[in-house]
Amino acid sequence: MSELADVAALLADRTRARILEELLGGPALPAGALAVRVGVAPSTVSGHLAKLEAAGLIVVRRRGRRREAELARPEVAEALEALSRLAPGDARPIGLRAVNGHAALREARSCYDHLAGRIGVALADDLVARGALGLEGGAFVVRDSAHFLEMYGIDLAGLPRRRAVVRACADWTERRPHVAGALGAALLEVALARDWVRRRDDGRALTVTELGRAALPAA
């Protein structure tokens, strides 16, 4: 349990928690961009990144003259998303910008490499309702692989085998699971490729397009 205490101590720092929250969006971010988003000096971010990397929560790679950080693996994102559910549910953002940002995150966001928020949970619910997925003991299982090929062009047999095909990730805003794992990543890739959702430059919220509102369940 000492390792758990060490990780908890790292997450107890607000700046490190904010860094991890920004990295939940999925794509690697330059250290300088993280400093701007979190609101601290670049030297401060560098110190925090070193501690998070030493703990195995992130990886930092040098690309040319800059360093980029990203979460070490999907399980880190799922653990962070689940921990967010422990935050008080009655907490309210203050200020118009904060309110709008929170509403955008609740609507649709990337959780590492899969779709989360109201849209992500609605997609999971639709897949269960159509019999493509089952939910057993809090875990998703594939029931009809042909559905994913027909509707989304996803061949489950061709998904990477270095990770679980499908996982249930606890959604911190909807308090219910969305689809993670290799299938979750493939579904987000399809949504981006078909222009159903678009990434934003200011965080991990996703913009749902008119095409997406017509194609995605409950959008």
Q: In this structure, what token pair is assigned to residue 115?
A: 């779709």
Q: Where are the domains of the chain?
A: 2-72, 84-215
Residue 165, classed as helix, strand or coil, is: coil
**Domain 2-72 classification at class level:** mainly alpha
Mean pLDDT across the chain: 86
146 vs 155: CA distance, rounded Å: 8
Closest CA to 202 of 37, 66, 35: 37
Q: Where are the alpha helices (DSSP H) in 24-73?
A: 31-38, 42-54
pLDDT tens, position by position, for the chain (219 residues)? 457 788 888 888 999 988 998 888 777 888 988 898 888 998 899 999 999 999 899 999 988 888 999 888 888 888 887 787 766 554 443 343 443 456 888 999 998 889 999 999 999 999 999 999 999 988 999 999 999 989 999 999 998 888 899 999 989 888 899 999 999 999 999 999 999 999 988 778 899 999 999 999 876
- Given the structure tokens 């078909």, which residue do they identify? 194
Using a cut of 0.85, tell me whether the model's pTM lies above it: no
pLDDT tens-digit series, residues 150-176: 999 999 999 888 889 999 998 988 889
What are residue 111's DSSP bridge partners? Answer: 114
